[in-house]
A and B are shown apart, each in its own frame.
Chain A
Amino acid sequence: KQEVTQIPAALSVPEGENLVLNCSFTDSAIYNLQWFRQDPGKGLTSLLLIQSSQREQTSGRLNASLDKSSGRSTLYIAASQPGDSATYLCAGYSGGSNYKLTFGKGTLLTVNP
């Protein structure tokens, strides 16, 4: 059974800093890994999807990588801004007919002005 862990649970950084959020998973037979952002009281917004055949994906200041052999994914945020403050969740999809993703519990990021 796939398990997804995100450490740390919370992170506070000053504005302008580059930072890395971590996501680890137990089953290396992962089909894809998706990163989400969640603002308080809102739904999840998809940020990046990395397929198993890919090593990384980029969108603006965000870069996500996937290393199946080590069971790790990272989300890199460059030049952080206060507007980046949110909870970031990762989720792994192991394929198959169940169509289910396994979610981590998220990292609460605070970027201080």
Chain B
Amino acid sequence: DVKVTQSSRYLVKRTGEKVFLECVQDMDHENMFWYRQDPGLGLRLIYFSYDVKMKEKGDIPEGYSVSREKKERFSLILESASTNQTSMYLCALGRRATGELFFGEGSRLTVL
């Protein structure tokens, strides 16, 4: 079974803080994605990576950055958290051969 692990299920941060969301998967050489999910807006792609040190902007990259130093780990960084970044953040692993996605449990971030 594919396993995608997000390090924190719930976080509460203050405006202006730097926030790291970590995602680890147990498959090698696969694509990784960060989405945010908000009521009424659905899932929106923030960034994705198809290899170590490679990253591509998704639909809403503003205010976020990412890091992929190892194949199994993909981090989402909020350089200076703002209240409009309060959301559910979902990490996913994508199989290149089929495009099939596998999601982690999600990280609920609240920015006060």
Contacts and interface: CB of A to CB of B under 8 A. Distances in A.
A113 interface: no
Contacts, number: 56
Contacts of A88: none
A106 B103 contact: no
B58 A46 contact: no
B101 A101 contact: yes
Contacts of A41: 88, 106, 108
Contact of B103 (A44, A49, A100, A105): A44
Interface in A55-113: 89, 91, 93, 95, 98-101, 103-106
Interface string B71-91: 000000000000000001010
Contacts of B98: 32, 49, 51
A41 B94 CA distance: 22
B21 to A, nearest CB: 13
B56 interface: yes
Interface of A: 31-32, 34, 36, 41-46, 49, 51, 89, 91, 93, 95, 98-101, 103-106
Interface of B: 4, 6, 31, 40, 42-43, 45, 48, 50, 56, 58, 88, 90, 92, 94, 96, 98-106, 108
9 contacts: A36-B101, A36-B103, A41-B108, A43-B106, A46-B102, A46-B103, A49-B100, A100-B58, A101-B94
